[in-house]
């Protein structure tokens, strides 16, 4: 069964700003699906429509076959949602935040205590449950929020930029919890991210989204495989061939490298299509001609390369229109939680 | 039927957690009491001594005590929207609205919590007003009536504030506009002087000012015990409150877009 079915979905804001531009996709039950794209690509706008917070301008969306426009309250019972901002209430304790969610999802009082206890335990927050959330670290707040969204055992969990602003240790811990919820609780997860590693580490399927449109949907492995291109960066001792280095190297590696560039004095970069196959061959040829290599660095294709290939832009550049807003939001979040 | 019970339950939950927040940090509640106390102690006492405003048989301080209670409720509740913009910016509101909780419960629950603040503030002002020479007419039914008006008034102004928050969005604008509207609401009412002291056009305008009915209700129940107008006061306040709750729901939806 499909957890999410989206057809020709658009979100157009005042002033004809197309945040989401006619996208269609399905997400199978049980997987971790990620929307990868820069700030302002339309990720949050899509989530907000799917969790029934904003109106759909065009198209349709169903969660487990239930239409988000026609039966929003039914949809709300099936899903959990963690917004991008650190949104646990800082003026309540961790326990109270969970209790609030439990009551809003009408979990009966007998079961409530047990579920809250389990969630605190699973998320590693039992010790701090009586403290006000304003005293929590960013990572703890995020875990608490994911816990809040999981209390009613939703079949589908929406996470909007789950690790934005977290330090590497906090990020790893959140990843672990997301995987656990997916594997052990069999929760389908829909997340958005602009972090390559996050999409690569966590997701079974990735949709690359930029300027409101989905360019491609596939698994991280096959996205990388399709790109194929890797790079070899190394310092070469070319002996007597210093002057005609470029042509000399070109003659050596023949058609194996797409481009050969001297990026700094004596340091060369080979861009290698189908890197898995061809990179070893290039190294072998250099070796055969007794060219000494120093500081060798081989880079296999990354999602970044896939992103570049499918969207024509690098992820960090993105579309800058909304960046100011995103930065402000992050700053506010950090002000709140120190 | 199920949905009515669910609505009441969820409204209670929203209210419960708003009250928990006040208990965790009652600082604002206390700070907001200082201004009405100053009005009563400084302004009220001075005007009382010189009998500048003709209030008939009533001493001036007894006359304005209900006005000051109403003012304290207005000034506290009307800033409620700032909490909503904060909840909106921090994602709390989005998360809340993605749970199976009706928009009506959210607006009403939050509005009622302003009523809880109002009850605490009013009680403190009443206690302080007694040594200043205000003679209250306490009967159980009157006190219940006063509590009813406090809750209606606070909910009404808090919902009005949510509407402004959704229209203005930015906190700076919100603060400016709210400052701008509170003074006319306060002065174009019978809080500080009797209606007859105002020019006719202002007298007419007071009829569309919810604060007028709040002050009139308080004064009738707490001081004069002349309850002829109380049903009208309640009726008008109910209408205003109901309308602003609906507008508040519209405001919440608008804030999310």
Q: Which of A68, A82, A91, A336 to mutate to test the interface with B (most CBs of B within 10 A)?
A: A91
pLDDT digits (tens, 9 = 90+) for A27-58: 999 999 999 988 888 999 999 999 999 999 99
Topology adopted by domain A229-300: Alpha-Beta Plaits (3.30.70)
Residue A319 φ then ψ, to 5° = -95, 130
Domain boundaries, chain A: 2-219, 229-300
Domain boundaries, chain B: 2-48+60-256
pLDDT at A321: 43
pLDDT at A317: 52
pLDDT at B181: 92
Which carries the bigger pLDDT value, residue B141 or residue A165? B141
Beta carbons of B256 and A48 less than 8 Å apart: yes
CA distances from B205 to B185, B211, B230 (A): 10, 11, 19
Whether residue A293 has pLDDT greater than 50: yes
To 10 degrees, what angle do helices B230-256 and B80-89 make? 20
pLDDT class for A297, splitting at 50, 70, 90?
confident
Which carries the bigger pLDDT value, residue A222 or residue B107? B107
| Domain A2-219 indexed as CATH 3.30.930.10 | no
- Sheet with A2-13, edge to edge strand ranges: A17-28, A2-13, A58-63, A66-67
Least confident of A11-25, A309-323, B66-80, B120-134: A309-323
Contacts of A75 in chain B (CB under 8 A): none
Least confident of A100-104, A182-186, B161-165: A182-186
pLDDT digits (tens, 9 = 90+) for A119-147: 999 888 999 999 999 999 988 999 999 99
pLDDT at A336: 52
Distance CA A39, CA A320 (A): 8
User: How would you classify the pairing of strands A17-28 and A32-36?
Assistant: unpaired
pLDDT class for A337, splitting at 50, 70, 90?
low
pLDDT class for A226, splitting at 50, 70, 90?
confident
pLDDT at B155: 97
In chain A, the percentage of residues whose pLDDT exceeds 70 is 93
pLDDT at B13: 97
Arithmetic mean of pLDDT, B161-169: 93
Element (H, E) at A326: helix A323-337
Contacts of A252 (CB under 8 A, 6+ apart): A285, A286, A289
Q: How far is B95 from chain A (nearest CA, A)?
A: 7
Beta carbons of B13 and A101 less than 8 Å apart: no
The closest alpha carbon to A168, from A148, A195, A205, A194, belongs to: A195
Beta carbons of B17 and A55 less than 8 Å apart: no
Q: What number of CA atoms fall less than 13 Å from residue B153's CA on the CB side?
A: 31
pLDDT digits (tens, 9 = 90+) for A176-219: 989 988 998 899 999 999 888 899 989 999 999 989 999 999 99
Whether residue A250 has pLDDT greater than 70: yes
User: How would you classify the pairing of strands A188-193 and A32-36?
Assistant: parallel
pTM of the shown model: 0.85
Least confident of A297-311, B8-22, B211-225: A297-311
pLDDT digits (tens, 9 = 90+) for A150-170: 899 899 999 999 988 788 888
Evaluate whether A6 touches A23 at the Cβ level (below 8 Å).
Answer: yes
| Among candidates B20, B94, B256 on the partner chain, residue whose Cβ is nearest the Cβ of A92 | B20
CB atoms near residue A116 (< 10 Å):
22
pLDDT at A174: 87
Q: Which of B93, B95, B253 to mutate to test the interface with A (most CBs of A within 10 A)?
A: B95
pLDDT digits (tens, 9 = 90+) for B142-159: 999 999 999 999 999 999
Contacts of A106 in chain B (CB under 8 A): 6, 9, 100
Q: Which of B11, B28, B91 to mutate to test the interface with A (most CBs of A within 10 A)?
A: B91
User: How would you classify the pairing of strands A2-13 and A58-63?
Assistant: antiparallel
Please report the DSSP string for B117-167 in residue order. HHHHHHHHHHHHHTTTT------HHHHHHHHHHHHHHHHHHHHHHHHHHHH
Arithmetic mean of pLDDT, A66-87: 94
Arithmetic mean of pLDDT, B174-201: 90
Arithmetic mean of pLDDT, B54-75: 90
CA distances from B1 to A229, B101, B196, B224 (A): 63, 16, 48, 42
Beta carbons of B100 and A106 less than 8 Å apart: yes
Average pLDDT in chain A: 87
Arithmetic mean of pLDDT, B225-245: 95
Predicted ipTM > 0.95: no
Whether residue A320 has pLDDT greater than 80: no
Arithmetic mean of pLDDT, A223-235: 83
Beta carbons of A85 and B89 less than 8 Å apart: yes
pLDDT at A318: 46
Beta carbons of B98 and A105 less than 8 Å apart: no
């Amino acid at each position: 069964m499909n957890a999410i079915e989206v057809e020709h979905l658009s979100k157009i804001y005042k002033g004809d700003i197309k945040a989401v531009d006619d996208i269609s996709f399905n997400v199978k039950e049980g997987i971790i699906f990620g929307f990868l794209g820069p700030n302002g690509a339309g990720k949050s706008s899509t989530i907000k429509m799917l969790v029934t917070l904003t109106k759909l301008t065009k198209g349709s969306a169903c969660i487990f076959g239930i239409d988000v426009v026609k039966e929003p309250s039914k949809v709300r019972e099936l899903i959990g949602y963690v917004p991008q901002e650190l949104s646990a209430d800082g003026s309540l304790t961790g326990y109270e935040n969970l209790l609030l969610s439990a009551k809003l999802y009408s979990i009966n009082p007998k079961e409530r205590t047990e579920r809250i206890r389990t969630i605190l335990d699973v998320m590693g927050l039992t010790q701090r449950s009586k403290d006000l959330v304003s005293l929590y670290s960013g990572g703890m707040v995020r875990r608490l929020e994911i816990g809040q969204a999981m209390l009613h055992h939703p079949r589908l969990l929406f996470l909007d930029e789950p690790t934005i602003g977290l330090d590497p240790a906090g990020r790893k811990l959140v990843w672990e919890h997301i995987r656990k919820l997916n594997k052990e609780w069999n929760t389908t997860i829909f997340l958005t991210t602009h972090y390559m590693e996050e999409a690569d580490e966590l997701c079974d399927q990735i949709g690359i989204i930029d300027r409101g449109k989905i360019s491609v949907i596939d698994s991280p492995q096959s996205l990388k495989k399709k790109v194929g291109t890797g790079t070899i960066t190394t310092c070469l001792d070319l002996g007597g061939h210093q002057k005609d280095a470029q042509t000399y190297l070109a003659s050596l590696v023949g058609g194996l490298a797409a481009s050969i560039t001297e990026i700094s004095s004596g340091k060369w970069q080979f861009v290698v299509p189908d890197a898995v196959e061809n990179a070893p061959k290039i190294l072998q040829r250099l070796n055969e001609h007794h060219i000494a290599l120093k500081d060798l660095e081989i880079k296999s294709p990354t999602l970044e390369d896939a992103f570049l290939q499918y969207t024509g832009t690098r992820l960090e550049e993105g579309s800058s229109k909304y960046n100011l807003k995103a930065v402000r939001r992050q700053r506010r979040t950090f002000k709140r939680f120190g | 039927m199920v949905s009515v019970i669910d609505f009441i339950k969820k409204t209670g939950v929203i209210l419960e957690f708003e009250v928990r927040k006040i208990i965790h940090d009652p600082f604002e509640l206390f700070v907001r009491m200082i201004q009405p106390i100053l009005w009563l102690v400084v302004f009220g006492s001075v005007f009382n001594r010189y009998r500048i405003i003709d209030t008939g048989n009533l001493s001036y301080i007894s006359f304005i005590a209900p006005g000051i209670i109403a003012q304290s409720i207005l000034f506290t509740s009307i800033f409620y929207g700032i909490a909503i913009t904060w909840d909106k910016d921090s994602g709390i509101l989005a998360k809340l609205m993605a749970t199976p909780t009706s928009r009506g419960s959210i607006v009403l629950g939050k509005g009622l919590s302003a009523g809880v603040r109002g009850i605490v503030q009013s009680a403190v002002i009443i206690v302080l007003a007694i040594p200043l020479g205000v003679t209250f007419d306490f009967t159980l039914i009157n006190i219940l009536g006063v509590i009813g008006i406090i809750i209606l008034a606070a909910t009404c102004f808090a919902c009005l504030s949510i509407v402004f928050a959704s229209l203005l969005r930015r906190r700076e604008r919100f603060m400016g506009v709210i400052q701008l509207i509170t003074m006319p609401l306060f002065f174009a009412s019978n809080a500080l002087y009797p209606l007859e002291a105002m020019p006719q056009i202002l007298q007419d305008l007071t009829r569309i000012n919810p604060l007028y009915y709040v002050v009139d209700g308080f004064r009738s129940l707490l001081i004069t015990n002349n309850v002829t107008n109380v049903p009208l006061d309640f009726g008008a306040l109910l209408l205003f409150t109901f309308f602003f709750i609906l507008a508040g729901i519209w405001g919440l939806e608008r804030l999310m877009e």
